[in-house]
Structure 1
Amino acid sequence: MIRWEGGRDEGTLTATGKDYQPGGRVVDGTVTAEVVEKTSLKGKLGEADFTATYDSLYDNVATLDPLVTGPWLLADNAGTLSLVNVAADGKVTGAAQGVAGGECPLTGEVVPEPGKNYYKLEITFADSAECQLPNQTVEGVAIHQQGIMIAGLLSNDQSRGLFALGTQDFR
């Protein structure tokens, strides 16, 4: 998962940021890319070349409806499984696997970003020795497409990045 800060000057994006890798490693990096609005993004992320194409699904408006139809099973880049529910008001409840075999309770909120096809997400882990981030909050964004949720979250001090992939179709 990558988080960057920067800007766009006409058709060129330049930014610096951090690459949050599995196992907790965080690497500084840069991105430069040529931007063709609503068409493509092509450039370098560190030393790697990349090309991304625009998807008109981004222009859809996210709602909570597809998130509240049942529990979500999520796996993250720390190797942890979580089972969470999203209520009609966007409140999130659930538990992650604990570090010693128990459970780490969690709560939070998911809010559709107005006019966009993604969500803002905030999760707070219980103050428990079972939690990898006890009594800490992570914030980020999530997308939902075809029954799959993808979320990227950062700790408040930005020292930890969590990337999670989930489905409701696990029964």
Structure 2
Amino acid sequence: MAASLGTQRNSDGIYRAIDIYLDKHRYLTEVEREEVCRVLDCQKMSPEACEHAAKNERFPVRFVVQVLLVAQMQLRDTVTKEVQVFDDKLRREAAEDEEKKGLDEEEVRAEMEKMSIKVMELERECCMMREEIEHTCTHQKSKRGKASMWRKMKRKLGCASSTHDCNCQAKRKKKS
């Protein structure tokens, strides 16, 4: 970088010297001005010097066109490099996003499996509770069935409604 900077400074210095020479010798023909400019290497000039040379009316048209072509090539190279850097950055970000996405998907899958296992456990518990409830209900129904049969018999016999209060008419009839 330092070497190219030194080369640019030297080329820019030569450009300034030629510019001053052409300014002092305005009577030179186009061919003579082209001959003087042959010592300049446009590719080694700084972008600022190239920009100045492109607008400089003292320089021959052939040299100005050469400067413009070099500037265009430099600009194209710069844009290409910037686009490459940007593309590389996008690719890295996309790869990182894919990696994160893959990790996220794995985490989601693991959580889904945990949830699935928990749901199956809850379903088992629910089935067990349902069976217990059904068993309890059928057991109570059978008890209620006996009790209701007992109540029916008590009513037929004329007993009071409460099981504790058993003033049965059957007992009274026996006493009398």
The TM-score normalised by the length of structure 1 is 0.17
Which protein has the bigger strand share?
Answer: 1
Which protein has the bigger helix share?
Answer: 2
Larger RCO, structure (CA 8 Å, separation 6 or more): 1
Instruction: Please identify the structure whose Cα radius of gyration is greater.
Output: 2
The TM-score normalised by the length of structure 2 is 0.16
